[in-house]
Amino acid sequence: MIPELGHISLITHLILSLFAGTVPLAGLFLGRQSFLLHIERFSLILFSLITVSFLCLVYSFLMDDFSVAYVAQNSNINLPYYFKFAATWGAHEGSLVFWILAMNAWLIGFTFLTKSKDKKFSQLVFSISCQVMFAFTLFTLFTSNPFERILPVPPLNGSDLNPSLQDIAFTVHPPLLYLGYSGLLIPFAIAVAAMLFQTETRVWASYARPWALLSCGFLTLGIALGSWWAYYELGWGGWWFWDPVENAAFVPWLLSVALFHSLITSQNRGLFGKWSVLLSIFAFATSLLGTFLVRSGILTSVHAFALDPERGVFILAILAFFIIGSLTIYSVKDFAKTSSNTTYTLTSKEFGFLLNNLLLVILAISILFGTIFPLIYESITAGKKISVGAPYFEAVLFPFALALGALQGLALFLGWGKTTSFTFLKRLILESASIFILVLLILFILFDNLYLNSFVIIFLATWIAAGTLQFGKIGSKDYFKIIQRRSAVIFAHVGMAILTLGIAVVTNYSLEKEILLAKGDSYQIEELDVSFDSIEDSVGPNYLSKLAKVSFTEGSSTKQVIAEKRTYFPSGQPTTEAGIETEVFKDLYVSMGDNLEADIWSFKVQVKPFIRWIWLGALLIAIGTIISGVRLTRRL
């Protein structure tokens, strides 16, 4: 009964979202006041319906109801309860329900917090959002229904959740990512409404900004957690693989960053109105496009979703309807007229934001192109395969990322209209150069080595940090005030500096070695002594595992870690769990390879200095954007 309740609730959500997506719209354009809805109340009703649906699915998982096909495919009696819970969004069908839930949550945020004097504007945003939610619900019910039953003979046990997804980071990574994706719906709907009503740029930008920031914050958290998960779960020791799914999340992230920066200018100066609208549309479009690429099966990656061409067509249809629709409005409506004669010069903050946007968009397009190119190549050459990997992305992105970082260091000093004084430059160069030398000194003490390759990026990191924190003003009495007023921006930009430093060090100072070890033997890698102490069998709730105890000895200190190789018995699929010893400045990392003879195993040993700083940086960026987003919602 419970799954049917969830099913009915989802169908009701479908009908009501269609109603809310069409009736107020008709009311607005026919001028019928009576067609308008009480949107606060209506968004609560929609939210409750989808919540019921979601909870019914959770319940089916927790109760091991294997007559529900989705549960049978993604759970198992032996699965621990917290993974049963997380399995709800672990595969395609359930993740869609979560996605709709998240869109509803954002819409509630919008309807309750935006105290627009213009009631019609809110009605329109609400109605457009409901159209998108209707399309998603329709997609879910028709191609990916999570409540479908296997009757009359339900299986006795399920086939288990994909083992590599049975992990703590995984339980939170997808929801955060989906929250980020779905949040981009609100700026999109606001932008479309702004075009239709020819709303003044400053006004609509102030509505859209908090939601763009919050989505970006959640996207950052989601992507960072995904990267961390891949690091210890896939056993490769990397933090970014240019995998199509990673790219599919990275592109909307870049565009959301471009968007909220552009919106600052739109809100404060009434400029970039059209550009902000385009970014809102494309940020939303790329979040859908990513979903399309991953779930239609036209790109393959480590993220295995059930493949189904029919789903691909459906998502493409949703994408085409909303994006072609909004771009058509864009091409015919005469909006964002620059009535004010605001001018700006090449040294202005406006121009800084323009450059920032240009660079971010170039990065996004390059990544998108690199992701889709293998498909284009395959169809031109009639089936020849090509893979575009790290070398392409690194070579193409590096110069633009460099320029972006250089700009970021200067950004906070620029003034609206034009920058009057450039005295800050001398101080900035001096400060960043001194921190740079300090960082090099620390690296030399830590690793006895300096790599020229890393200098440019390390300098960039110190440049951004110095430009953000403005150490020169320490001591002056308003320094604390500046820091406090700008805390959001400082968190985000310092986060960027820390992330950049992490990337510079980890790419240049990492050690990596594949070794064979017999039990009791040890191996020397530079000053690190790696010894294979013991191996034992162990049994988990739904897997068997081999546990290898490996010790790292450096000078007089010895640390033991446990690397693990699991075989999940419902599916027979193996996974590796790396053994990682985390120190402030480096990670010692070992993952198990194959069992060659009796007690001889292959291991992959890695030393990863500063790798944690990458995720720390991302965390700070997320904190910064979320603080800023939350502050702005209070001013709505």
Partner 1 sequence: MRKIIDILPLLVFAALVLVLLSFLSDRDDQLETVLIDSTFPEFSLTNLSDESSILGKKDISQLPALINVWATWCIACRVEHPFLMKLKEEEALAIYGLNYKDNREKALDLLKRDGNPYVFSIYDYEGRLAIDLGVYGAPETFFIDKEGIIQERHVGVIDEKVWADKFQKYLDE
Q: Which residues bind partner 1 (CB under 8 A)?
A: 66, 69, 72-73, 150, 153, 155, 158-160, 278, 281-282, 285, 292, 296-298, 306-307, 309, 312-313, 316, 319-320, 323-324, 327-328, 330-332, 372, 375-376, 379, 569-573
Structure tokens at 458: 């390390």
Instruction: For 358-397, give the DSSP string.
Output: HHHHHHHHHHHHHHHHHHHHHHHTTS------HHHHHHHH
Question: Least distance (Å) from partner 1 to the CB of residue 199?
Answer: 18
Whether omega before 3 lies within 30 degrees of 0, making that bond cis, reads no
Structure tokens at 312: 């691909």
Using the minimum distance from each CB to partner 1, give the nearer residue, 312 or 472. 312
Using the minimum distance from each CB to partner 1, give the nearer residue, 323 or 464. 323
Using the minimum distance from each CB to partner 1, give the nearer residue, 71 or 488. 71
Are the C-beta atoms of 160 and 570 separated by less than 8 Å? yes
Using the minimum distance from each CB to partner 1, give the nearer residue, 74 or 266. 74
Question: Least distance (Å) from partner 1 to the CB of residue 287?
Answer: 14
Question: Least distance (Å) from partner 1 to the CB of residue 154?
Answer: 9
Phi, psi of 574 (to 5 degrees): -90, 150
Question: Least distance (Å) from partner 1 to the CB of residue 494?
Answer: 35
Using the minimum distance from each CB to partner 1, give the nearer residue, 122 or 280. 280
Long-range CB contacts (< 8 A, 24+ apart) of 565-569?
565/592, 566/163, 566/540, 567/543, 568/160, 568/163, 568/166, 568/542, 568/543, 569/78, 569/542, 569/543, 569/544
- Burial class of 55 by CB neighbour count within 10 A (0 to 12, 13 to 18, 19+): middle
Question: Least distance (Å) from partner 1 to the CB of residue 250?
Answer: 18
The residue type found at 184 is: L
Are the C-beta atoms of 593 and 603 separated by less than 8 Å? yes
Question: Least distance (Å) from partner 1 to the CB of residue 319?
Answer: 7
Question: Which strands form 511-518's sheet, in the order they lie side by side?
Answer: 511-518, 600-609, 586-597, 579-582
Question: Least distance (Å) from partner 1 to the CB of residue 165?
Answer: 16
Strand, helix or coil for residue 418: coil
Phi, psi of 615 (to 5 degrees): -75, -30
Question: Least distance (Å) from partner 1 to the CB of residue 36?
Answer: 30
Using the minimum distance from each CB to partner 1, give the nearer residue, 150 or 172. 150
Using the minimum distance from each CB to partner 1, give the nearer residue, 228 or 272. 272
Select from 600, 565, 597, 569 the least CA-distant residue to 579: 565
Using the minimum distance from each CB to partner 1, give the nearer residue, 382 or 584. 382
